[in-house]
Amino acid sequence: MGYALVQILNALSFSALLLLTGLGLSVVLSLMNFINLAHGSFYLLGSYVAVYWFASGAPWWLAFPMAFAAAALAGALLERFPFRGFYARTHLMQVLLTYGLSVIFADLMRWGFGAQILSPELPEALQGVVFLLDIPFPLYRLFIIAAGLVLGVLLWLLLDRTLWGAVVRASVSDRGMVEALGIDTRRVFAAVLVLSAGLGGISGALGAGMLAAYPGLDEEVLVLALITVVAGGLGTFRGTVAGALVVGFALTFSKLWFPEFANAAAFSAMAALLLLRPNGLVAPRQRQV
Amino acid sequence: MSAARDPAAQPVLSLSGVSAHYGAVEVLRGISLDVARHEAVAVLGRNGVGKTTLVHALFNLGPSLGGRVRVMGQDVAGWPTHRIARLGVGLVPQGRGIFPNLTVTENLRLATVRRRPGAWTLDRIFETFPRLAERRASFSGTLSGGERQMLAISRALLTQPELLVLDEPSEGLAPLMAEEIILGTLGKLAAEGLTVLLVEQNLTLALRLCPRAVVLAEHRIVFDGMSSTLLADRSLVSDYLGV
Ligand SMILES: Nc1ncnc2c1ncn2[C@@H]1O[C@H](COP(=O)(O)OP(=O)(O)OP(=O)(O)O)[C@@H](O)[C@H]1O
Ligand SMILES: [Mg+2]
């Protein structure tokens, strides 16, 4: 019982990271029809920021807003140049551009942060274990789950309950009409990209305590986030939630049951899912956020 | 102040020599049209003649353009759509252009994001259209055709326009509803001084509302004059409007 609970919580903490990373990808894809393969770089940047911040002695909790800000700033600069010029281009062009950029960023980060695996010194408040039905479980993972939940709800409120969110949703369904109401949708797009990058950064900061930070993690996370978004159903919020849960659980439990072929098992399950439900778990009725 | 500089004397909309094409397909050629403040002008023409293309031309929503478009006296060549709209032009597009995944209130509030000063408020809209007030919390995708049209017009009004451009508002509406919207709602707005550019296929309703009519045919304007003159000219009506 306790063992199962612990594995479920492990899966949930992984799902929380996938959710935050995947939401950033998915909102940009559904709103701007833009595929950003550099999204994993935002994640890894956030991880490095957290590693260094935790080591610096400054108040630990500021690591998360700092990681958000660093990635958001990178996103803002990239949005101006060159992303903006590629929103209307084909997906292939976007893939070539952003994949190329992600390779450059990987080199830059290796140069700046080194090639070794960096595990952050967790703040005291988040160190240690809690006993769940007599089985120890890292407190930090509970923190990740809670943070994923809180940020997920905040994001949902922002998109679903605010006027700004209404502008974003309206731009997804009819950009020209939003413009005809006097709203500058280019600024909306820029803001969404910055938010998406920031989310990538904050998930990296959260994930550092679980997955550490090292060259190559950016791509691993990107692939998982892409699978999350596709498995869930392109560009729906609920779909990304479902996708994050499915991928998180599939990977966690396949590592448990088939340690040698964990990835093969998990990805075959995803492929089967997509064959059965080509539109993902939550098929969008129309393009929406 | 000289007459030429006086903003009230300037046409709110002035097209000169406007052409438009989709790739190699020419749709409009040499369109010139002035609309003065407080006028109500009907734009008529058969299916596919280019009426929507004309509407898109003045919002820079469409394909490549030639010629000059002036809105409120400003040359808007190359302007993004939102800047043109901010000059005080409201759009009720063909097919209504409501956002189905937003509630009625959200649809309306989007128009107030810009906070242009003006007489229209959400309360006044709900007074004018009690039906929308009843359905304020519904997703607008669930509205009936008539309700959608009221929503599209209300949303345009909340941008506080001086010129309201409507593209076939009667399309798909029951005859009574079409009459209610065009003669009732728009009639009242025009009487209050709103400038109206009304694209329509419903000749009778459009000409009852608008004292002036413009007929598009074969890429150009073939008639521009009093609605009564147009109605009296049987051959023009049958040749170019097919009624
Ligand atoms: N996106 C497009 N690409 C290519 N051709 C187009 C496009 N949109 C319209 N056309 C063509 O341009 C011509 C004018 O179209 P437009 O929509 O302006 O006509 P309309 O007068 O508004 O017609 P309706 O009364 O059916 O609304 C039509 O022949 C149409 O086939
Ligand atoms: Mg049309």
The string of pLDDT tens digits covering residues A195-220 is 999 999 999 999 999 999 999 999 99
Whether the predicted pLDDT of A234 surpasses 80: no
Burial class (CB in 10 A: 0-12, 13-18, 19+), A126: middle
Strand partners, B43: B199, B214
Question: Parallel, antiparallel, or unpaired: how do β-strands B89-92 and B195-200 relate?
Answer: unpaired
Residue A178 covered by a domain:
yes
Whether the predicted pLDDT of B1 surpasses 50: no
Q: Could you report the per-residue pLDDT of A164-177, keeping only the tens digit for each?
A: 999 999 998 899 99
Tell whether A161 is within 8 A of chain B (Cβ): no
| pLDDT at position B132 | 97
- What is the rounded average pLDDT for all residues in chain A? 93
| pLDDT at position A232 | 86
For A:164-193, CB contacts with B below 8 A are 166-167, 169-170, 172-174, 176-186
Shortest distance, CA B86 to any CA of chain A (angstroms): 5
Q: Assess whether the C-beta atom of B88 lies below 6 angstroms from ligand 1.
A: no
B89 vs A254, more confident: B89
CB atoms within 10 A of CB B238: 10
Residues of B in contact with A286 (CB under 8 A): 100-101
- Residues A87 and A193 sit within 8 Å (Cβ to Cβ): no
Structure tokens given for A68: 């958000």
Residue A262 covered by a domain:
no
Q: Could you report the per-residue pLDDT of A250-274, keeping only the tens digit for each?
A: 999 999 898 888 888 878 888 888 8
Q: How far is the C-alpha of B210 from the C-alpha of B35, rounded, in Å? A: 12
Q: How far is the C-alpha of A15 from the C-alpha of A10, rounded, in Å? A: 9
Tell whether A272 is within 8 A of chain B (Cβ): no
Residue A202 covered by a domain:
yes
B5 confidence band (pLDDT: 50, 70, 90): low
Instruction: Tally the domains of chain A.
Output: 1
Shortest distance, CA B165 to any CA of chain A (angstroms): 11
Query: Taken in order B108, B113, B116, B121, is the CA torsion positive or negative?
Result: positive
Question: Parallel, antiparallel, or unpaired: how do β-strands B89-92 and B40-44 relate?
Answer: unpaired
Structure tokens given for A136: 């120890």
Structure tokens given for A87: 């929103």
Residues of B in contact with A176 (CB under 8 A): 59, 61, 81
3-state helix/strand/coil string of chain A: CHHHHHHHHHHHHHHHHHHHHHHHHHHHHHHHCCCCCCHHHHHHHHHHHHHHHHHHCCCHHHHHHHHHHHHHHHHHHHHHCCHHHHCCCCHHHHHHHHHHHHHHHHHHHHHHHCCCCECCCCCHHHCCEEEECCEEEEHHHHHHHHHHHHHHHHHHHHHHHCHHHHHHHHHHHCHHHHHHCCCCHHHHHHHHHHHHHHHHHHHHHHHHHHHCECCCHHHHHHHHHHHHHHHHCCCCHHHHHHHHHHHHHHHHHHHHHCHHHHHHHHHHHHHHHHHHCCCCCCCCCCCCC
- Contact: B99, A170; criterion CB under 8 Å: yes
Structure tokens given for A153: 């709800």
What value does the mean pLDDT take over residues A228-248? 89
Whether the predicted pLDDT of B35 surpasses 50: yes
CA atoms within 13 A on the CB side of B179: 4
A236 confidence band (pLDDT: 50, 70, 90): confident
A289 confidence band (pLDDT: 50, 70, 90): low
- Residues A24 and A237 sit within 8 Å (Cβ to Cβ): no
Q: How many residues does chain A have?
A: 289
A287 vs B202, more confident: B202
Residue A205 covered by a domain:
yes
Q: How far is the C-alpha of B194 from the C-alpha of B167, rounded, in Å? A: 16
- Contact: A181, B155; criterion CB under 8 Å: yes
User: Which of B28, B47, B51, B197 to mutate for ligand 1's pocket (most ligand atoms within 8 Å of CB)?
Assistant: B51
A10 confidence band (pLDDT: 50, 70, 90): very high
Whole-model pTM: value is 0.92
Residue A187 covered by a domain:
yes
Residue A24 covered by a domain:
yes
DSSP letter, residue B147: H
| pLDDT at position A274 | 83
Q: Considering only CA atoms, which of B99, B108, B144 is closest in space to residue B126? A: B108
- Contact: B86, A182; criterion CB under 8 Å: yes
Whether the predicted pLDDT of B129 surpasses 90: yes
Residue A270 covered by a domain:
no
State which residues form the domain around A188.
2-217
Q: Considering only CA atoms, which of A224, A13, A266, A31 is closest in space to residue A139? A: A13
- Residues A231 and A280 sit within 8 Å (Cβ to Cβ): yes
Tell whether A134 is within 8 A of chain B (Cβ): no
For B:59-98, CB contacts with A below 8 A are 59, 61, 80-82, 85-86, 91, 93, 97
Q: Lowest-confidence range among A190-204, A222-236, B108-122? A: A222-236
Whether the predicted pLDDT of A156 surpasses 50: yes
Whether the predicted pLDDT of B4 surpasses 60: no
Instruction: Give residue B192 CA to ligand 2 midpoint distance, Å.
Output: 27
Note the ipTM here.
0.94
- Contact: A178, B110; criterion CB under 8 Å: yes
CB atoms within 10 A of CB A39: 28
Q: Could you report the per-residue pLDDT of A86-113, keeping only the tens digit for each?
A: 999 999 999 999 999 999 999 999 999 9
Whether the predicted pLDDT of A287 surpasses 80: no
Residue A180 covered by a domain:
yes
What value does the mean pLDDT take over residues B229-238? 92
Residues of B in contact with A180 (CB under 8 A): 59, 61, 81-82, 85, 91, 93, 97
- Residues A206 and A190 sit within 8 Å (Cβ to Cβ): no
